[in-house]
Amino acid sequence: MHIILLSGGSGKRLWPLSNEIRSKQFLKVLKNDAGEPESMVQRVFRQLHAAGIDTHVVVAAGRSQEQSLRIQLGGSADLVLEPDRRDTFPAIALSCTYLADVKKVPLDEVVVVLPVDVFADLEYFTTLLRMEQAVLDNAADLVLMGIAPDHPSEKFGYILPTAQRDGVYPVRGFVEKPDAVRAAGLLAEGAFWNGGVFAFRLGYLMAIVAKQRPDGDFATLLAQYGTLRKISFDYEVVEKATSIAMVPYRGRWKDLGTWNTLASELGSGCLGKGLIAEPTGDNHIINELDIPIVALGTRDLVIVASPDGILVSDREHSTTLKKHVDTFTAPPRYEEFLWGTARVIDSLPAVEKVPGTFSTRRLNIPAGRATGALVDAKAGLVWVVVSGTGLLTMDSKEVPIQSGTTVSIAKGQAHALVAHTDLVVLEVQLPG
Amino acid sequence: MHIILLSGGSGKRLWPLSNEIRSKQFLKVLKNDAGEPESMVQRVFRQLHAAGIDTHVVVAAGRSQEQSLRIQLGGSADLVLEPDRRDTFPAIALSCTYLADVKKVPLDEVVVVLPVDVFADLEYFTTLLRMEQAVLDNAADLVLMGIAPDHPSEKFGYILPTAQRDGVYPVRGFVEKPDAVRAAGLLAEGAFWNGGVFAFRLGYLMAIVAKQRPDGDFATLLAQYGTLRKISFDYEVVEKATSIAMVPYRGRWKDLGTWNTLASELGSGCLGKGLIAEPTGDNHIINELDIPIVALGTRDLVIVASPDGILVSDREHSTTLKKHVDTFTAPPRYEEFLWGTARVIDSLPAVEKVPGTFSTRRLNIPAGRATGALVDAKAGLVWVVVSGTGLLTMDSKEVPIQSGTTVSIAKGQAHALVAHTDLVVLEVQLPG
């Protein structure tokens, strides 16, 4: 079985933790069995491994997610990096072309597509094996996972199954986001939620792709990616398919895409520095800052602080967060790179009367890592080495650095850094 | 009339804004008539000026408040700085000795003592004139302000008046913090709250002081201040007095000592960067950080963020804040000095694996200010000048500085700085 994991967009539904660089699936707010923090993508990989189906995984993601994926997954998956975001059909088409053209996967082998940010039990992943089997048994061209609904949700699409044979249900139709009355009726009829999980033979999808882009060449498709129509897999493939079946999954299944749903899965009340005193409800604190948060006498709040901002939200209301923070345009203040992390610790708005831009970042570079050559054309920089040792290359000069070393880097000057021991460097960007 | 303003202790009831350096009376969370931010102490001085009684004011304060007072009051008051805090009687005794010995105020002139953190109407201050007149008319040795109570509070002391003459009530007794039933009875009897405002002739108090310290010399009393008994003016003077009268005040009178009471006086919902969305009650944000706060769907919260921490408190519960934050021992991260401000922007706990201490501060030094010579014996420092120009003196060398200048200052090295234009300097304290 070949798995394509769709690593979706960034979004601000989990602001201030998620931003254009840190998508929600990379936030280490969950806990593994050993109680250690893990992200949604790490959890999915752990479950794929437990189900024994993690051998051939392709992650389809935007280019901005590359470093996060490499940091969190290491080499355990191939990455297919979309030059820009064009919805699920182009992403799946590109990934399938990668399997067929680059990995030379035979066209009769089965591909299963699923979202990377699903929160489900292990049975969800073993259900993928039953979906594969249904395709191999030729139950249908396209096999979907049906999620057994536990309430008449108006947010999901519904699958209408007919009588099952060996646990596989031929599908007679779909209903998109019904109102509450219709949803209750659908539950009574035995409808399932459409979980966005698809299984098919690679050749099935490649035939659809070939109608649009006949050459089937990965490099060409990648280069032309920006010309593909933005359309979802549901519209482009599922709606047009004539032979569809469904395999049911009856277990925990959540979209942890809002603080309300995510809070339910957060273990203890407080992650990071904080204190919940005299609570009158179920409160959660996630604090990435180095100053404490005190919640006093509060009820059912989610309190989240990151270098980007501070959220204090009633749990129920958190579903509308996106529209309120969509207007925030400040660039992310915390970034993870393969060489380490960079965090803005001070910036212009806090400093009155200073003309031009100004920001100060703390760079943490673990021992053995190297930044690679880079050119910062934006401004002159001053680096102050707080702790650790390393070697700085500027143009062709090599400068050994240690605690207390200061280095001025001119605008546009190429420089690279290797950490011999764990390095902490303050980078002052001068106004200009 | 001579006024002694008691500038009380620091406390953590308004954490994270108040700390051992920034007492609540210096927080600019109120607004003047022009809508500009003002502190409690600035408000009191504005009202004293409006009442025409601000010509002779002495502020009794702890030494740690000196810089804050000079910044906020300039030269509009004399400061009597207590070497340590020893309750209200020693503070008033020291201030009266200052008036008698240093300022040579005649002993028959009237002194009025009041707390600096009172929140009241202008009439409160014109009442002080009526208290002075009552002393001049020899209505009693000691004249107190009686605050007309608006509810049977268990938190205050009560004054029991007898029949008035010309608006002045002889006092027959006091009741300290009664229970609710007794308080209701006291209201029915026509009792007033004791507002901690006292008027007397200077000679009256100096006679009491002379019994304990006969020489009446300010310098001597200052030097011996640590040997004075910690006792309140109420216990040492009021309880023993045989001739007491009361002048009533019927108006707004509040102790803005908790977030609940202070929040009622905060104008708009949001001071600083923030957004209150979908509120279900009366919410307040005070944000001193340079990242935004979003309050979403919250009810009756006070949200306060400063460099020291973040508070999210139900308004009613905020009265118990002190006991929860008393255990916090981190030093203040924002300090105001005569030469400017210093703010910790990064510190050790955020940086893993770094041995020793480490912190980075932003120093803002307005044009024309000078730090004065100082020695930092704690650690080696690196200064990076972000913007502005000035002159740095290290030992006997003078170094002109400007944006981009870096200076290493060895542990214990004397240095001083003069700002020619507004200076922004980052100070990196190296681990050691």
pLDDT above 80: residue B355:
no
Domain spanning B339-429, CATH class: mainly beta
Search chain B and give the residue with CA nearest A277: B324
pLDDT above 70: residue B65:
yes
Q: Do B403 and A273 touch (CB under 8 A)?
A: no
Q: Do A403 and B430 touch (CB under 8 A)?
A: yes
Instruction: Provide the pLDDT confidence category of residue B265 given band limits of 50, 70 and 90.
Output: confident
Instruction: Provide the pLDDT confidence category of residue B330 given band limits of 50, 70 and 90.
Output: confident
Which CATH architecture best describes the domain B2-255? Alpha-Beta Complex (3.90)
Mention every residue, 6+ apart, whose C-beta is less than 8 A from residue B429. B357, B358, B359, B360, B361, B378, B379, B380, B381
Residue B351 has which token pair?
A: 């940086």
pLDDT one-digit tens code per residue, A243-253: 999 999 999 99
A297 and chain B in contact, CB less than 8 A: yes
Mean predicted confidence (pLDDT) in A375-399: 84
B406 and chain A in contact, CB less than 8 A: yes
Search chain A and give the residue with CA nearest B300: A298
SS3 letters across B227-245: HCCCCCHHHHHHCCCCCEE
Taking phi over 0 as left and psi of -120 to 50 as alpha, with beta for the rest, B223 belongs to: alpha
pLDDT above 70: residue A352:
no
pTM as predicted: 0.84
Search chain A and give the residue with CA nearest B291: A309
Instruction: Provide the pLDDT confidence category of residue B354 given band limits of 50, 70 and 90.
Output: low
Mean predicted confidence (pLDDT) in A334-345: 88
The per-residue pLDDT of chain B, averaged, comes to 90
A353 and chain B in contact, CB less than 8 A: yes
Q: Do A403 and B431 touch (CB under 8 A)?
A: yes
Mean predicted confidence (pLDDT) in B17-37: 84
Got the DSSP string for B295-361? EES--SEEEEEETTEEEEEETGGGGGHHHHHTT--PPPSEEEETTEEEEEEEEGGGSTT--S--EEE
Closest partner residue to B296 (CB to CB) among A307, A318, A406 is A318
d(CA A273, CA B195): 40
Q: What is the pLDDT of residue A326?
A: 87
The per-residue pLDDT of chain A, averaged, comes to 90
HSE of B102, CA atoms in CB hemisphere, 13 A: 15
Q: What is the pLDDT of residue B216?
A: 80
| Chain B residues within 8 A of A426 when measuring between CB atoms | 346, 360, 384, 426, 428
Higher pLDDT, A331 or B374: A331
A368 and chain B in contact, CB less than 8 A: no
Mean predicted confidence (pLDDT) in A62-79: 89
Q: Do A354 and B387 touch (CB under 8 A)?
A: yes
Q: Which 3 state secondary structure label does DSSP give A112?
A: strand
Mention every residue, 6+ apart, whose C-beta is less than 8 A from residue B410. B380
Mean predicted confidence (pLDDT) in A35-53: 92
Q: What is the pLDDT of residue A54?
A: 82
Taking phi over 0 as left and psi of -120 to 50 as alpha, with beta for the rest, A69 belongs to: alpha
A320 and chain B in contact, CB less than 8 A: yes
Q: Do B351 and A386 touch (CB under 8 A)?
A: yes
Is residue A256 within 8 Å of A40, Cβ to Cβ? yes
- Nearest partner of B429 among B354, B364, B372, judged by Cα: B354
Q: What is the pLDDT of residue A353?
A: 52
Closest partner residue to A313 (CB to CB) among B297, B325, B403 is B297
Of A68-77, A148-157, A175-184, A284-293, the least confident: A68-77
Q: Do B294 and A406 touch (CB under 8 A)?
A: no
Mention every residue, 6+ apart, whose C-beta is less than 8 A from residue B345. A345, A346, A360, B307, B360, B361, B362, B426
Is residue A257 within 8 Å of A122, Cβ to Cβ? no
Search chain B and give the residue with CA nearest A341: B351
Q: Do B294 and A273 touch (CB under 8 A)?
A: no
Q: What is the pLDDT of residue A155?
A: 86
Q: How many CB atoms lie within 10 A of CB B169?
A: 25
Mean predicted confidence (pLDDT) in B257-270: 81
pLDDT one-digit tens code per residue, B159-187: 999 999 989 999 999 999 999 999 999 99
| Chain B residues within 8 A of A298 when measuring between CB atoms | 301, 312-314, 317
Identity of the residue numbered B148: A
Q: Do A404 and B408 touch (CB under 8 A)?
A: yes
Among B15, B310, B365, the residue to mutate for chain A (most A Cβ within 10 A): B310
pLDDT above 50: residue B370:
yes
Mean predicted confidence (pLDDT) in A203-218: 93
Instruction: Provide the pLDDT confidence category of residue A328 given band limits of 50, 70 and 90.
Output: confident
Search chain A and give the residue with CA nearest B350: A290
pLDDT one-digit tens code per residue, B195-229: 999 999 999 999 999 999 888 899 999 999 999 99
B329 and chain A in contact, CB less than 8 A: no
Most confident of A63-67, A232-236, A367-371, B372-376: A232-236
Shortest distance between the Cα of B260 and any Cα of chain A, in A, equals: 12
B321 and chain A in contact, CB less than 8 A: yes
B410 and chain A in contact, CB less than 8 A: no
Instruction: Show which of residues 142-181 on chain A sit within 8 Å of chain B, judged by CB atoms.
Output: none
pLDDT above 90: residue B268:
no
Q: Do A387 and B321 touch (CB under 8 A)?
A: no
Mean predicted confidence (pLDDT) in A125-136: 97
* Helices within B27-78 (DSSP H only): 40-50, 66-73
Instruction: Show which of residues 265-294 on chain A sit within 8 Å of chain B, judged by CB atoms.
Output: 273, 275, 277-278, 280, 287, 289-294
pLDDT above 90: residue A292:
yes
pLDDT above 90: residue B33:
no
| Chain B residues within 8 A of A295 when measuring between CB atoms | 312-313
Shortest distance between the Cα of A274 and any Cα of chain B, in A, equals: 9
Q: What is the pLDDT of residue A355?
A: 57
Instruction: Show which of residues 190-249 on chain A sit within 8 Å of chain B, judged by CB atoms.
Output: none
Q: What is the pLDDT of residue A215?
A: 84
Instruction: Show which of residues 16-45 on chain A sit within 8 Å of chain B, judged by CB atoms.
Output: 16
Instruction: Show which of residues 333-352 on chain A sit within 8 Å of chain B, judged by CB atoms.
Output: 333, 345-347, 349-352
d(CA B302, CA B167): 41
Higher pLDDT, A62 or B9: A62
pLDDT above 80: residue A21:
no
Search chain B and give the residue with CA nearest A406: B406
Among B386, B413, B425, the residue to mutate for chain A (most A Cβ within 10 A): B386
Integer angstrom CA distances of residue A404 from B26, B264, B348, B406: 37, 49, 16, 11
B316 and chain A in contact, CB less than 8 A: yes
Is residue B64 within 8 Å of B79, Cβ to Cβ? no
pLDDT one-digit tens code per residue, A140-157: 999 999 999 999 999 899
Identity of the residue numbered A256: L
Q: What is the pLDDT of residue A127?
A: 97
B184 and chain A in contact, CB less than 8 A: no
d(CA A89, CA A167): 28
pLDDT above 70: residue A190:
yes
Search chain A and give the residue with CA nearest B317: A297
pLDDT above 80: residue A351:
no
The separation between the first and the last C-alpha atoms of chain A, rounded to the nearest angstrom, is 55
| Chain A residues within 8 A of B18 when measuring between CB atoms | none
Q: What is the pLDDT of residue A296?
A: 97
Query: pLDDT over 70 for what percent of chain A?
Result: 95
d(CA A177, CA B243): 82
Q: What is the pLDDT of residue B92?
A: 97
Higher pLDDT, A239 or B355: A239
Higher pLDDT, B350 or A206: A206
Beta bridge partners of A248: A146
Residue B107 has which token pair?
A: 């002993």
Among A329, A347, A428, the residue to mutate for chain B (most B Cβ within 10 A): A428
Instruction: Provide the pLDDT confidence category of residue B350 given band limits of 50, 70 and 90.
Output: very low
- Nearest partner of A98 among A74, A112, A80, A116, judged by Cα: A80
Among A12, A276, A291, the residue to mutate for chain B (most B Cβ within 10 A): A291
Angle at A83 between CA A78 and CA A89, to 5 degrees: 75
Of A150-154, A418-422, B393-397, the least confident: B393-397
Mean predicted confidence (pLDDT) in B22-45: 88
Shortest distance between the Cα of B13 and any Cα of chain A, in A, equals: 13
Is residue A267 within 8 Å of B251, Cβ to Cβ? no
Per-residue b or e along A101-110, where b marks 16 or more CB atoms closer than 10 Å to that residue's CB? beeebeeebb
d(CA B109, CA B135): 9
Query: pLDDT over 90 for what percent of chain B?
Result: 65
Closest partner residue to A314 (CB to CB) among B297, B324, B408 is B297
| Chain B residues within 8 A of A352 when measuring between CB atoms | 364
Question: What is the C-alpha radius of gyration for chain B, rounded to an integer number of angstroms?
Answer: 24
Hey, where are the domains in chain B? 2-255, 267-325, 339-429
HSE of A80, CA atoms in CB hemisphere, 13 A: 31
ipTM (interface predicted TM): 0.83
Is residue A109 within 8 Å of A96, Cβ to Cβ? no
Integer angstrom CA distances of residue A64 from A20, A159, B53: 8, 34, 65
Q: What is the pLDDT of residue A356?
A: 61
Mean predicted confidence (pLDDT) in A166-184: 94
Among B291, B344, B383, B423, the residue to mutate for chain A (most A Cβ within 10 A): B291
Instruction: Provide the pLDDT confidence category of residue A350 given band limits of 50, 70 and 90.
Output: very low
Instruction: Provide the pLDDT confidence category of residue B357 given band limits of 50, 70 and 90.
Output: low
Shortest distance between the Cα of B310 and any Cα of chain A, in A, equals: 5
